[in-house]
């Protein structure tokens, strides 16, 4: 059994669509790669000045930290710093990248597998360093993930596609998410890739998607917009319906809106 460590850049994940993610699913995702999780770390920005002055913020922050600990993660907080920009406006900044990178390098001595939670391209050198130490490094992120970081990882998980990781959107908790991996443009259809479980092989590639089922703000998309969804690797949300012949079709397809 491989020994695993998880390192989550909470600020990056939350800011790019991961707010409300379930930490227990993150651990199960690492375990599904044939590992036992030895270290699980979450790096969080905290406004200590606001904690002293805002009782409601302090209580919410304490509750969030407690929830992280309940799920077996060790939280490391980084104090928010205040700067005055060139326009005289107060800017808040907190960067836990260095803490995460140092911890990952030190703790990796006793680990075989690293799951890095961030889409920040600044972590490319960390990924390479860990790989050069013989570690497998997978990355999970949501929107705005660095293309170079995705390429450098041994495997990239799109957080929106991981079953159960994010809370359901809208009134229907049974909606499925996927991406178009192949289109037949002249006939107006394509096929979706859907993650059905947490393992690397838990993927379905044969979900039929006809252009007539794809809508944007209630309006059917045209051929050009359909191709753009494919080229962008857009996350789509839809009703997954089993057909009598055992195949699957996507109905009421819309682009997933990051929260």
Whole-number Å distance between alpha carbons of 216 and 194:
20
**Per-residue pLDDT tens for 196-227?**
999 999 999 999 999 999 999 889 999 999 99
Whole-number Å distance between alpha carbons of 19 and 10:
9
Domain boundary among 161, 193, 208: 161
Whether 84 and 199 share a structural domain: no
Mapping DSSP onto H, E and C, the string for 133-160 reads CCCEEEEEECCCCCHHHHHHCCEEEEHH
**pLDDT for the residue numbered 87:** 55
Residue 72 has pLDDT above 50, yes or no: yes
Q: Which tokens is 191 given?
A: 């096929």
**pLDDT for the residue numbered 95:** 65
Phi and psi for 201 in degrees, rounded to 5? Answer: -95, 0
- pLDDT band at 90, cuts 50/70/90? very low
Whether 38 and 87 share a structural domain: yes
Domain assignment of residue 235, given as a range? 176-255
The pTM score is 0.90
Beta-strand runs (E) in 196-243? 203-210, 214-216, 219-220, 236-242
Whether 152 and 185 share a structural domain: no
Asked if the structure places residue 138 within a domain, the reply is yes
C-alpha distances (whole Å) from 37 to each of 34, 144, 163 are: 10, 27, 20
Asked if the structure places residue 171 within a domain, the reply is no
């Amino acid at each position: 059994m491989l020994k695993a460590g998880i390192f989550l850049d909470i600020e990056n994940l939350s800011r790019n669509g991961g707010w409300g993610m379930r930490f227990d699913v993150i651990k199960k995702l690492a375990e599904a790669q044939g590992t036992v999780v030895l270290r699980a770390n979450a790096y969080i920005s905290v406004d200590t000045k606001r904690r002293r002055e805002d009782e409601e913020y302090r209580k919410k922050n304490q509750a969030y930290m407690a929830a992280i600990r309940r799920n077996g993660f060790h939280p490391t907080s980084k104090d928010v710093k205040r700067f005055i920009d060139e326009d005289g406006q107060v800017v808040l900044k907190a960067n836990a990248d260095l803490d995460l990178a140092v911890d990952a390098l030190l703790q990796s001595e006793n680990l075989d597998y690293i799951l890095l939670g961030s889409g920040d391209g600044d972590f490319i050198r960390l990924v390479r360093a860990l790989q050069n130490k013989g570690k497998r490094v997978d990355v999970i992120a949501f929107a705005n993930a660095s293309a170079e970081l995705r390429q450098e990882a041994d495997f990239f998980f799109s957080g929106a596609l991981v079953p159960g990781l994010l809370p359901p959107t809208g009134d229907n908790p049974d909606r499925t998410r996927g991406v178009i991996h192949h289109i037949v443009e002249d006939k107006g259809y394509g096929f979706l890739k859907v993650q059905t479980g947490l393992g690397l092989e838990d993927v379905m590639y044969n979900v039929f998607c006809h252009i007539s089922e794809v809508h944007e703000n209630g309006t059917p998309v045209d051929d050009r917009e359909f191709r753009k969804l494919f080229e962008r690797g857009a996350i789509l949300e839809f009703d997954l319906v089993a057909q009598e012949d055992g195949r699957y079709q996507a109905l009421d397809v819309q682009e997933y809106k990051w929260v």
